[in-house]
Amino acid sequence: MGIFDYKIVEEAAKQLYIRALCDLPPDVREAIKRAAARETQPTAKEVFKAMLAAIDIADEKKTLICQDTGLPLYMLKIGSGFHWDGAEIKDRIYEGAKRATVEFPFRSSATDYLTRVNSQTSVGRGLPVLYVDFLKDADYLEMLMIPKGSGSENMSTLKMFVPADGINALKKFVLDSVIAAGANPCPPGIIGVGMGGTADLVMRLAKEAIARPVGQRNPDPAVAKMEQELEDAINATGSGPMGLGGDVSTLAVHIETAHTHITLNPVAVNTQCWPARRARARVYPDGRVEYGY
């Protein structure tokens, strides 16, 4: 095998951003279709029809579904069976996200937090957000890309409860957060929930939760049961698509968990909008790239 050319990672990072924005994953499409079929309120049915039309038009015209191209997040899994150069991967993803923005071209939302000057490249200090994890018994690099729009990201919540508050405080917090968010995160989306860990880990868990295919349950039956209960509770509010009233207020609740400190009891909520955008690539040491969702 020759020397690996990291241009391949750059190209994949670029393609992933564009794919995520234009081509919704099949599980999301199916979830919207199921929601549309289940919905009984006439105005809500009309809203679902428009969502399905938007997906079709984006397919046909190879264009963006939503104008908010968000901030780029790349979740990496680095296989242990090949000597990957992490620093090189980081630089190439930065370049790839930038090239997607200026070459497609689409709007950059990345802004200096103080001067509010837009970098015009979707990247900047601290961006793209990178999550790095490792994979045993694999030689490939997996890249999962999620563009995070502001309507949903702005509705994120986190609270450090105490052990005495129990698990019920966390469940109530999730429901109350979703009600407070109302129409802003373009419901019905995926409600990502983190439980346990530390302040930073719990939000990361919530983010990892929105990256799961719609409705794929947590393997722990107790957590899966809680997902279903929260889903039913949120749908029972009747808030509906775009908060205009209806039977379907969320596509799914996903919960990810971690061990926490004996005196901590944290919870975080991170919502993903109905166009729950994501794209995945596997990059192999021989230069092959497989795209998926």
Partner 1 sequence: MARYHLQTPFSEEAIRQLRVGDIVHFDGTLFGIRDLTQIYMFDQHHEPPVSLKGMPCIHTAPSLKKVDGKWVPICVGTTTSYRMDRFTPPLIENYGVRAIIGKGGLYEKSLEAMKKFGAVYLAIVGGAASLETQQIVEVEQVYWEHLHPEALYQFRVKDFGPLTVAMDSHGNNLYSEVKAKAMARLPEIYQKLGVA
User: Concatenated DSSP letters for 228-274?
Assistant: HHHHHHHHHT---GGGSS-S-SEEEEEEEE----TT-EEEEEEEE-S
Q: Which of 240, 236, 260 is nearest to 248 (CA)?
A: 240
Q: Distances in Å between the alpha carbon of 282 and those of 84, 94, 142? A: 13, 18, 5
Residue 239, binding choice from ligand SF4, partner 1, none, Cβ under 5 to 8 Å by partner class:
partner 1
Give the nearer residue to partner 1 in terms of CB position, either 12 or 155.
155
CB of 274 to partner 1, least distance (A): 6
Rg of the chain over all Cα atoms, to the nearest angstrom: 19
CB of 28 to partner 1, least distance (A): 12
Binding of partner 1 by 102 (CB under 8 A): no
User: Concatenated DSSP letters for 145-212?
Assistant: EEEE-HHHHTT-EEEEE-GGGHHHHHHHHHHHHHHHHTTTT-SSEEEEEEESS-HHHHHHHHHHHHTS
Binding of partner 1 by 86 (CB under 8 A): no
Give the nearer residue to ligand SF4 in terms of CB position, either 156 or 257.
156
Chain residues that interact with ligand SF4, rule: CB under 6 A: 66, 68, 70, 149-152, 185-186, 273, 275
Residue 180, binding choice from ligand SF4, partner 1, none, Cβ under 5 to 8 Å by partner class:
none
Binding of partner 1 by 269 (CB under 8 A): no
Write out the two tokens for 143.
């890249």
For the window 25-64, what string marks contact with partner 1 as x by the rule CB under 8 A?
Answer: -----------------xx--xx-xxx-xxx-xx--x-xx
CB of 266 to ligand SF4, least distance (A): 25
Give the nearer residue to partner 1 in terms of CB position, either 142 or 231.
231
Residue with tokens 């799914």: 252
User: Concatenated DSSP letters for 146-160?
Assistant: EEE-HHHHTT-EEEE
Residue partners of 225: CB distance under 8 A and separation at least 6: none
Does residue 60 sit in helix, strand or coil? helix
H or E element, residue 53: helix 42-61
Q: Which of 37, 117, 162, 179 binds partner 1 (CB under 8 A)?
A: 179
CB of 184 to ligand SF4, least distance (A): 7
CB of 227 to partner 1, least distance (A): 12
CB of 186 to ligand SF4, least distance (A): 3
Residue 177, binding choice from partner 1, ligand SF4, none, Cβ under 5 to 8 Å by partner class:
none
Q: How many helices (H) and strands (E) does the chain have?
A: 8, 9
Write out the two tokens for 57.
């038009």
Q: Which of 183, 200, 261, 292 binds partner 1 (CB under 8 A)?
A: 183
Give the nearer residue to ligand SF4 in terms of CB position, either 55 or 283.
55
Q: Which of 89, 134, 88, 129 is nearest to 110 (CA)?
A: 129
Q: Which residues bind partner 1 (CB under 8 A)?
A: 42-43, 46-47, 49-51, 53-55, 57-58, 61, 63-68, 105-107, 149, 151, 168-169, 171-172, 175, 179, 182-184, 186, 229-230, 232-233, 236-245, 273-275
